[in-house]
Amino acid sequence: MHTNPRNRIPLTCQAVERLLCEISGAQLGRAVSPYDDFFELGGDSLSVIQIATAARVHGLSLRSSEVLRFPVPARLAEHLTLPRDSAPRVRPPALDPGGAGPGPDPGPAEVRAVSITDGDAAEPLHVIHSQSHVRAERDAVAAWADGRAAVGLRLTGPGSSTPTAGSVEQLADRYLAALRRRQPVGPYRLAGFGHGAVVALEVARRLRGLGAEPALLALIAPPAGPAPGEAPADLDDLLSRRLAMLAGRFALTGDESIEDIHARFHDGGWYEDVSRAQDLPGLQRAWAGVALAVQEYGYPPYDGPAVLVAGSRTPHPAEQAWSETPERLTVHQLDLALASPLPVVNDPHVADLMREVLAA
């Protein structure tokens, strides 16, 4: 874990990112954003050495070669804080739901609908949220809506904190029922974030089976799944990876209370809609359950009109679903290559794209 030797404050991924922007800006004599390329702003090999030296003064174990490989502050911050596959995994005890076991299954979670905007209700946008960034997603959707009513859908209740989330098909059944209660007939416009994008895809497939093809399906930062040749993970492995990622991103050593972790999450823009710190361990178990369901689901064929927003230039596996009708899929790729979905959610180009497709 990195700490700032001047005040011993743990350097979370967000704090490291800010520090790298400040150090790079001081060397270049100009403001540097988290997504600026150091060399495109005029940096050179001497500046790389100076940046690495200044970073070490602030408690960052940074080599010049790492600046050369990751010349964008946001990417370098994730490189410095997120765990490598070969590193031991940290499972912060306060955040780990494994010790108590899953307990009895309290039954299916309910899908809760929350109004995001109160515009024209004739053709609303229904949004299936991710599990970690609901508030940021709602803010983004409100910026897209431009006079259109928008409704956020999310699993809530006891069942949302168990690993028995079921298959994507079972999750889609719950969301479809909630959608049809609010809007019995089309045209339907759907958007999904993260794992919610995969559930939105299955909801769209089911609507088509009912003869109600969605007018729009927008997949925002859906997961790419295992890398080619990588074996699928089981539930405990997914949970272990999740906890290790959070430990790295938020500089957790294992000594923090759940209240401390909750505060760090909020400061970093994660779980901002979660008001009770004690809910966080169960939400990690729920994340692993949904991630397992999504991993097993993949991206089955679909040829309806859709927009895919991906966070990197690498071709996304979801594109294969439209292999028979590629003209019906609009792909928008951002050159971010970050593990955090927040930059994709907040990107102004994504907002412009979504306003355009919703107005069509």
Over residues 76-103, the pLDDT tens digits come to: 999 999 998 777 889 999 999 975 444 4
Over residues 47-74, the pLDDT tens digits come to: 999 999 999 998 899 999 999 999 999 9
For residue 156, the model assigns a pLDDT of 66
pLDDT for residue 312 is more than 80: yes
Write out the DSSP string of 188-251. -EEEEETHHHHHHHHHHHHHHHTT---SEEEEES----SPTTPPPP-HHHHHHHHHHHHHHHTT
Verify cis geometry, omega within 30 degrees of 0, for the bond prior to 104.
Answer: no
Among 96-100, 119-123, 253-257, 352-356, the minimum mean pLDDT is found in 96-100
Residue 209 to residue 183: CA distance in whole angstroms: 17
Angle between helices 45-57 and 13-28 (to 10 degrees): 130
Neighbour-count burial of 122, counting CB atoms closer than 10 A to its CB (0-12 exposed, 13-18 middle, 19+ buried)? exposed
Among 4-18, 188-202, 222-236, 302-316, the minimum mean pLDDT is found in 4-18
Residue 221 to residue 267: CA distance in whole angstroms: 22
Mean pLDDT, the chain, whole residue set = 89
Under 8 Å between Cβ of 171 and 293: yes
Of 72, 75, 74, 76, give the one whose Cα is nearest residue 63: 76
Retrieve residue 294's tokens: 């999504």
Q: What is the mean pLDDT of residues 273-289?
A: 92
Under 8 Å between Cβ of 347 and 334: yes
Q: What is the mean pLDDT of residues 194-198?
A: 96
| Phi, psi angles (nearest 5°) of residue 208 | -65, -35
For β-strands 306-310 and 329-333, DSSP reports them as parallel
Q: What is the mean pLDDT of residues 128-142?
A: 96
Sketch out the chain's domains with CATH numbers: 13-81 (1.10.1200.10), 110-228+289-359 (3.40.50.1820)
Beta bridge partners of 150: 117, 125
Distance of CA 203 to the CA centre of its chain: 20
Over residues 6-33, the pLDDT tens digits come to: 555 688 999 999 999 999 999 999 999 9
pLDDT tier for residue 146 given thresholds of 50, 70 and 90:
confident
Proportion of the chain above pLDDT 70, given as a percent: 91
What are the CA-CA distances from residue 338 to residues 1, 21, 76, 77, 266 (Å)? 20, 16, 10, 10, 19
